[in-house]
Structures are given as structure tokens and as C-alpha cells.
Amino acid sequence: MRQNKKGFITIYALLLLSVSFSICAAVTKVYKDKVKFIEYVDEFRLINQIEVLVIGRIRQSYDDYKTKDETIYYHSCRISISYDNSSASISIICPKMSRHRVLTYDEIEGFVTDYY
């Protein structure tokens, strides 16, 4: 094979190669960021929905006088509810995020008095 005087890989080929790699890297980064963001938002929505449903469940438990500690698995999340008289501790643990709350319920009035 005949060799070019400028060398086999010319400066133009190197330039194109670097541009290709740059674009490839940019596409990969944008794609990864997007996937990560969508995954985060999905889990954020899921954990929010779980929290809302758990609040409803705890209130129903107080109204029915059936307060009993429980652990529930929903999708890939572990939900623990533990009762201590008028307070209920909620722990929701999902793969990428977790949330811990305490709900205080006034059984006589039927109102949530504190939530943090």
C-alpha cells in the first residue's frame, strides 16, 4: 500500500475524528442526563403518591380504631407505619430516595394536628 507523504492519518481525518467523538460524547451525556432526570421525576411522583395514600390509610386506621404497625411493599418501595398513641411514624424507602414523616392525629376531633 502506498503511503501518503502527509502520513496515513491526515490532520483532516483527525479533525473529523475529534468532532465525531465530541458529538458522540455530547449525545451520550444528554441522553444519560435525560434518563436520569426522567427516572428521578418518576420516583418523585411515586413517593409523593405513596405519601398521600399512606396519610389516607393512617387516618382511616385511626377512625376505625385499628392502629397496628405495618410494613407494606409497593412497587419497589418499602413503607413502614408505626403507631404511638396519637402519633404515627411513616417511613417510605424507595431505591433512589426515602422520606420519613410523623403524623399526629386528634381522634376525637378527627383532624390532623401536626405533620412534619
Partner 1 sequence: MERERKMLGLLSEKGRSAGYNILEMSIGLLLLSVTVVMISPLYRCLNSLRQFDSYFYQDEIGIYQLQIALALGNDIRIEDGILYYETIDNEMTVSLVNRKIIAQPGTVDYIHDVSDGWFEQKEGIIYVIFKRKQQTYRYPVAYASE
Q: Which residues are near partner 1 by CB under 8 A?
A: 1-2, 4-5, 8-10, 12-13, 16-17, 19-20, 23-24, 26-27, 30-31, 33-34, 37, 41, 44-45, 48, 51-52, 55-56, 103, 106, 109-113, 115
Through-space distance between the first and last CA atoms of the chain, rounded to whole angstroms: 76
Angstrom distance (rounded) from CA 44 to CA 47: 5
Phi, psi of 33 (to 5 degrees): -60, -40
**Shortest gap between Cβ of 40 and partner 1 (angstroms)?**
10
- Measure the CA dihedral 55/57/62/63, to 10°: 110
| Choice between 87 and 113, CB closer to partner 1 | 113
| Choice between 14 and 75, CB closer to partner 1 | 14
**Shortest gap between Cβ of 36 and partner 1 (angstroms)?**
12
Output Rg (C-alpha) for the chain, integer angstroms: 28
